[in-house]
């Protein structure tokens, strides 16, 4: 017997506001029973586990030990990063390599880090460019 992911929980101060940010990221609404000031808020992203936001009194103190890696479904990594910055994310680090592999580290409005990878076509092109440049096709995450 094994376990499955029922939900991903994110500790935060303002559950409704942070769920609102992530609802735009995932293009899904907040749960209809969630309201400002609630101690919990929930998203049900299509194709993924529930995302539960839980109010906690303490603030974020260090880098996340667990984070989400997002893959744009219908746009480039650069376009997705621009969209996410426009809805309230902040840039933490650009880890895109000269071959186009890598990722961009962003933070949500409460400082939780997450990464944006290239879409599948960008990752394939980066792998091909890396293989052509090195003759190996290995060594760099895409």
The conformation of residue 52, written as its DSSP 8-state character, comes to E
- What is the pLDDT at residue 139? 53
37: its two tokens: 């000031």
Tell me: pLDDT of 112 over 90: yes
73: its two tokens: 């479904």
- In the chain, what is the greatest distance between 2 CA atoms, to the nearest angstrom? 56
- What is the pLDDT at residue 135? 74
pTM of the model: 0.87
Residues 73-93 pLDDT 10s: 999 999 999 999 999 999 999
Residues 119-129 pLDDT 10s: 999 999 988 98
- What is the pLDDT at residue 130? 84
Give the up-direction half-sphere exposure of residue 68: CA atoms within 13 A in the CB hemisphere. Answer: 17
Q: What is the mean pLDDT of residues 109-135?
A: 91
CA dihedral sign of residues 84, 86, 89, 91: positive
The C-alpha angle 92, 94, 95, rounded to 5 degrees, equals: 125
The C-alpha angle 95, 47, 31, rounded to 5 degrees, equals: 100
Q: What is the mean pLDDT of residues 56-85?
A: 93
Residues 24-35 pLDDT 10s: 999 999 999 999
């Amino acid at each position: 017997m094994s376990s499955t992911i029922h939900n991903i929980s994110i500790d935060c101060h303002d559950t409704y506001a942070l769920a609102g940010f992530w609802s735009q990221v995932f293009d899904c609404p907040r749960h209809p029973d969630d309201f400002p000031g609630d101690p919990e808020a929930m998203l049900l992203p299509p194709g993924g586990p529930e995302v539960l936001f839980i109010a906690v009194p303490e603030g974020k103190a260090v880098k996340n030990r667990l984070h989400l890696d997002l893959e744009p479904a219908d746009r480039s990594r650069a376009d997705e990063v621009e969209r996410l910055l426009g809805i309230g994310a902040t840039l933490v680090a650009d880890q895109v390599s000269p071959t186009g592999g890598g990722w961009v580290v962003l933070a949500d409005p409460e400082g939780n880090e997450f990464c944006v990878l290239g879409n599948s076509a960008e990752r394939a092109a980066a792998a091909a460019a890396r293989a052509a440049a090195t003759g190996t096709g290995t060594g760099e995450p895409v």
